Chains A and B, each alone.
Chain A
Amino acid sequence: MDFITILQAGVASGTVLLFATIGEIFAERSGVMNLGVEGMMLIGAMSAFSTAVKTGNPWLGLLVAMIAAGLISQIHAFITITLQADQVVSGLALGFLATGVSLVLGEGLSKAGTISLLPKFSIPILSQIPILGAIFFDHHSVLVYIGYLLIPACWYFINYTRPGLNLRAVGEYPAAADTLGINVYWQRYLYVFVGGVLAGLAGATISLAVAPGWFSEMTTAGQGWIAVGLVIFAQWDPFRAAFGSYIFGALRRLILDIQGPMLLFGMKNPFYYNPYWGFFLQMLPYAFTIIVLVIGSREAIRKRIGAPAALGIPYIRGERGL
């Protein structure tokens, strides 16, 4: 078992979580919690794979996935922003709906055959760095590198640009933002859309790069929910989100790979000799999410930081409250 290979695969797998988490950070920063991430990822994975199978062009698949997931996210946007419904239930509903639609439209897709994947390449000089180069810059899918670029870009956008300031204002104190002439409704629609687009990208990353194919609900296997959890751990910050995503990605790979070898650190590998113990390994990412949430929540209480103040509260012009 080669740890470098596992970590390398972990970075690729973590990219999925990275996209989904950053997308949800955008939506929540604007004050809309979208629990439909899992469903939107499935829509993305299904439409990306199906487009790539039909046209032979994975780039087109990527584009379709982002648009499809972005569009379906607008159902949630309409219900929570315009109709002012409860964001939790609406997000769950979107999740059910998107999952169902992707299962219906993805029927028979699992036997559709293979597709040409998105290109993989190494970064010339950076990949020569010992260890880190091999993990982060060697023979990765182009999406992994897009992920690297996205982290600082989003961080800069949220914290140091005018639109980013507007985004935060809408999520923290929409009434004040409104008086300054920012269109709260439009902003929220926009960032729910951005969240949907990134969730679609996350889904496409699975079906076009990390684990190519369509395995109905097992394509995402709860990663959308882990992403929602990671947002809280990340405290709505892209860098912390990246940290959490890559750790979780590595954990997922480790669980897959640890059962392979007969020897582990020169000892008998218990997971090789008792293959059923693998079920306990399978629990780890989910158990870990809970642990990470506990850590995040305790930290939030201690440092007195928390969710965007208007998160979950519909904005109604001219009413009291946030």
Chain B
Amino acid sequence: MSVTPTTRSSSPFSYRVVFEKRLKEPAGFISFIITLFAIFIALVISGIVIELAGGDALKSFAHILKASFGSLGVFSDTLVKATPLILVGLACSVAFRARLWNIGAEGQFYLGAFGASAVVLTPLLPADTSPWIFITVMMAAGILMGAVWGFIPGFLKAKYNVNEIITTLMMNYIAVAWNNFFIYAIWSESGFQMSRVFPKTAWLPRLADYSKTVPAFRGLTTHLGLLFGILASILVWFILYRSRWGYEIRLIGDNPKAAQYAGLNITRNTILVMMFSGALAGLAGMSEITGVVHRLQGAISPGYGFTGIIVAWLAKLNPFAVILVSVLFGALILAGREIQPSGIPKMIQGIILVCLIASDFFLRYQIRIVRRV
């Protein structure tokens, strides 16, 4: 085929940008840089929207930094917000790793809180039980209720191929109504829409509780739940990357057909992964209710379950990265409470996720500048 040389090749625009499919996965640091760049772009866009809505973008960002990392006290509060995010982020990571879209961490969180509260409020245990027994039983109850809430969509997905995205989401609404019923009708304290305060024996210990021995801990609200989160990260990492079950999860996630031909039981794994995911989210609810709120009430979550999805994605489903990302989003949630208009933290989260997904393109493609021929 004869191609007549065009005059374009001699013009100053004789280079062009092409996107080529990467043949192998990019190195870790490239992926890290792309992610950082995506967050930077997201913050720029958020700033523009804040300015358009009549706010002061730089002031808002400075406020977020100062109100979440400014001193040991506020950093401790940031960790408190990060605690449920770690657990919920892990819940989403496990499910997403198996390509199960568990969008119901919010509902599992509420049910976990319900389960833990039921131990105190039914009451299953008397108020003067030893804290260690109390906390253990409450953990078990929270985990159990979360797992039950994960089991239902998992079962429906495995047996009837029902889209788990919608079932888990619908169960969020059901969980909130379920909790509300108990808050309003059964455990309402003198007509208020909240239960009575839990006895101190059912509170997770905080750093501040040890301020007598370590004076530096005075006023620090970080509670034992953070340790649950860190231990859970190690557990999830171990399960996913060092156990047979984790291998099965990852295989099903990467290539369900191959997994089936290899004889893996997909039905059972689907149900188990959803239950495990629900259990982690339920533990988050238990940790929040016993570590922070100390009573069952309506607004126990500013959308932790949904933020967990973003945390998991930003952490690229890596259990240890989940911890780091959770701290950042904990800061956003903590500082975002005082920012007006109140929708800004939610909007920033949305913009970050959008930019992040868009940036994945550069993990699959590389840019090259080539000479026109």
Which residues of A does B touch, CB under 8 Å? 35, 75, 78-79, 83-86, 88-90, 92-108, 216, 221-222, 225-226, 228-229, 232, 274, 276-277, 279-280, 282-283, 286-287, 289-290, 293-294, 297-298, 300-301
Contacts and interface: CB of A to CB of B under 8 A. Distances in A.
Interface of B: 49, 53, 101, 103, 156, 160-163, 165-167, 169-171, 173-174, 177-178, 180-181, 184-185, 306, 309-310, 313, 340-351, 353-354, 356-358, 360-361, 364
A17 to B, nearest CB: 14
B161 A92 contact: no
A97 B351 contact: yes
Q: List 10 A-B pairs, minimum CB-CB distance, nearest first.
A: A103-B343, A100-B347, A97-B350, A96-B350, A276-B185, A107-B341, A279-B181, A93-B353, A100-B346, A286-B170
Contacts of B163: 229, 232, 293, 297
Contacts of A277: 181
Contact of B170 (A84, A88, A276, A287): A287
Given A89-B357, A289-B170, A97 B162 contact: no
Contact of A99 (B310, B346, B358): B346
Most-contacted residue by chain B among A78, A98, A105, A286 (CB, 10 A): A286
B309 A85 contact: no
A276 B184 contact: yes
A226 B174 CA distance: 13
A293 B350 CA distance: 28
Contacts of A93: 350, 353-354, 356-357
B343 A100 contact: yes
A279 B165 contact: no
Contacts of A84: 361, 364
A85 B160 contact: no
Contacts of A232: 163, 166
A84 B362 CA distance: 11
A102 B341 CA distance: 11
A40 to B, nearest CB: 12
Contacts of B346: 96, 99-100, 103
B156 A290 contact: yes
Contacts of A95: 350
10 contacts: A79-B354, A83-B358, A83-B360, A92-B309, A96-B350, A100-B343, A104-B341, A232-B166, A279-B181, A279-B184
Contacts of A222: 169-170, 173
Contacts of B361: 83-85
A98 B170 CA distance: 19
Nearest to B355: A93
Contacts of B171: 286, 290
Contacts of A99: 343, 346, 350
**A75, A96, A293 — most chain B CB neighbours (10 Å):** A96
B350 A286 contact: no
A259 to B, nearest CB: 14
B181 A280 contact: yes
Contact of A103 (B161, B342, B364): B342
A277 B209 CA distance: 41
Contacts of B358: 78-79, 83, 85
B348 A298 contact: no
Nearest to A319: B21
Given A90-B357, A107-B343, A289-B170, 14 more contacts: A75-B354, A84-B361, A84-B364, A85-B358, A89-B313, A100-B346, A100-B347, A103-B346, A104-B341, A229-B170, A283-B174, A290-B162, A293-B156, A297-B163
B109 to A, nearest CB: 17
Contacts of A300: 161
A232 B160 CA distance: 13
A290 B94 CA distance: 23
B181 A276 contact: yes
A101 B347 contact: yes
A86 B313 CA distance: 12
A289 to B, nearest CB: 5
B137 to A, nearest CB: 26
Nearest to B153: A290
Contacts of B101: 88
Contacts of A286: 170-171, 173-174
A97 B177 contact: no
A35 B165 contact: yes
Given A276-B185, A287-B174, A98 B162 contact: no
- Residue from B177, B185, B310, B341 with most neighbouring chain A CB atoms (10 Å): B177
A34 to B, nearest CB: 12
A97 B162 CA distance: 27
A103 B166 contact: no
A228 B306 CA distance: 18
A229 B167 CA distance: 8
A279 B182 CA distance: 9
Nearest to B347: A100
A225 B351 contact: no
A294 B166 CA distance: 11
A172 B342 CA distance: 43
B162 A282 contact: no
Given A96-B306, A99-B350, A103-B341, A225 B169 contact: yes
Given A279-B184, A280-B181, A283-B174, A293 B169 contact: no
